[in-house]
Amino acid sequence: MMEIYSYARTYMAEHGNPNQWGPTNWPPEALIHSDIRDGNSYVCVNDDGKVVGTFFFRYGKDIEPTYREITDGTWFDNSPYGVVHRIAGDGSEKGIGAFCINWAYEQCGHLRIDTHGDNIVMQNLVRKLGFVHCGTIYVEEDHYPRLAFEKK
């Protein structure tokens, strides 16, 4: 999984988004181990059984602390929602991000996601998948604002 995240950092930097994960070498391996231990880490496997993507998914009521405060807009409502973070593919196949997001949405029917302002690839993907821009949130990892999206 860490090799997939390394590839994703390089891909993002090459596509105009060097600051989302690059400077902090995000995500740290300890966080991924914690995600796995907590049952929130998922992988995307191709037809040959090879892991080609990975992401974080969790569902519940008020589960993402950084989503409690949103500026320049508002969330749809306060109902339980799923959250997706740390989507990454290994570059071997197209459509991994859409597959992971669609799978997560099928699990709960109400999904929130955020992305860096420079991550045009992810912004275009979530809009294509029917997400609506709801406002801005801030994360603890860095000082860059994140664009917050929701689909219900």
Per the structure, the complete domain to which residue 128 belongs is given by 2-151
Q: What is the pLDDT of residue 125?
A: 98
* Residue the block writes with tokens 């409502």: 77
pTM of the model: 0.94
Nearest residue to 6 via CA among 86, 75, 67, 85: 86
Q: What is the DSSP string of 24-36?
A: TTSSPHHHHHHHH
Number of domains forming the structure of the chain? 1
Task: Tell me the pLDDT tens digit for each residue of 76-118.
Answer: 999 999 999 999 999 999 999 999 999 999 999 999 999 999 9
Q: Are 52 and 127 spatial neighbours (Cβ–Cβ below 8 Å)?
A: no
- CATH number of residue 86's parent domain: 3.40.630.30
CA distance 127 to 107: 19
Task: Tell me the pLDDT tens digit for each residue of 59-80.
Answer: 999 999 999 999 999 999 999 9
Q: Are 91 and 51 spatial neighbours (Cβ–Cβ below 8 Å)?
A: no
* Sequence-distant (≥ 6) Cβ neighbours of residue 100 within 8 angstroms: 42, 44, 53, 55, 84, 87
CA distance 130 to 76: 14
